[in-house]
């Protein structure tokens, strides 16, 4: 019915209050934007309140918010899609697809409950970053829910994410230190193993 990109008011099944999400509708199947990170000057090292409620940094940076993501993921029927932009000319983007994605509510600190990598629809040899994080709660620099106390993954990686005792094998909310190219080797840059390059930007959507 609607084919215009923009903000839409939705009411997920089970939710008692509607909320606004960013939808991309003009090209192919509709997308609900979870993360958009394309501007190096925009830092994702945000507070717990910001990750919970969401934040909008303009067209090149936004995070939907954990509370909204919880309500959207309850059905476990939506794919959690990640696209890493490698080059602009020619345009090359690496896609990673997780099925049956679900997180818990605020009482669990938005624990990652389910995420199954679909290898047939994902880049060959991509590391399954999320499966090893199932059972982990979301963390930010001011709310470190990692069971390994003192590890400090949010501060080390420069952003909020689900972390375990080894932090994570991906860092979508890290810093965009450069315009693509080889990884610099610092922990707080955006990366997804086993790729030896850092992306120009990253999109995540349902």
Tens-binned pLDDT, residue by residue, of the chain (206 aa): 557 888 889 999 888 899 999 888 877 778 899 999 988 888 899 999 999 999 998 878 899 999 999 999 997 788 999 999 988 878 888 999 999 999 999 999 999 999 999 999 999 889 999 999 999 999 999 999 987 766 789 999 999 999 998 899 999 999 987 666 888 888 999 999 999 998 999 999 99
Contacts of 136 (CB under 8 A, 6+ apart): 111, 112, 145, 146, 147, 162, 163, 164
What is d(CA 35, CA 47) in angstroms, rounded to the nearest whole number?
A: 16
**The whole model's pTM is what?**
0.92
Cβ-contact 101, 80 below 8 angstroms = yes
Cβ-contact 35, 204 below 8 angstroms = yes
What is d(CA 195, CA 73) in angstroms, rounded to the nearest whole number?
A: 28
């Amino acid at each position: 019915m609607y084919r215009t990109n923009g903000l839409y008011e939705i009411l997920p099944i089970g939710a008692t209050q509607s909320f606004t999400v960013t939808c991309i509708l003009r090209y192919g199947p509709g997308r609900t934007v979870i993360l958009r990170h394309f501007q190096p000057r925009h830092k994702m090292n945000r507070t717990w309140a910001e990750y919970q409620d969401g934040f909008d940094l303009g067209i090149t940076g936004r995070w939907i918010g954990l509370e909204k993501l919880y309500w959207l993921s309850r059905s476990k029927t939506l794919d959690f899609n990640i696209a890493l932009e490698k080059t602009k000319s020619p345009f090359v983007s690496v896609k990673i697809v997780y099925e049956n994605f679900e997180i818990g509510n605020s009482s669990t600190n938005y624990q990652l409950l389910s995420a199954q990598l679909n290898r047939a629809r994902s880049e060959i040899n991509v590391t399954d970053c999320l499966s090893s994080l199932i059972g982990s709660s979301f963390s930010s620099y001011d709310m470190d829910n990692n069971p390994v106390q003192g590890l400090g993954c949010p501060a080390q990686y420069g952003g909020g994410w689900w972390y375990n005792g080894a932090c994570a094998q991906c860092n979508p909310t890290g810093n965009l230190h450069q315009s693509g190219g080889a990884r610099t080797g610092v922990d707080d840059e955006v990366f997804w193993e086993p790729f030896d390059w850092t992306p120009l930007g990253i999109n995540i959507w349902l």
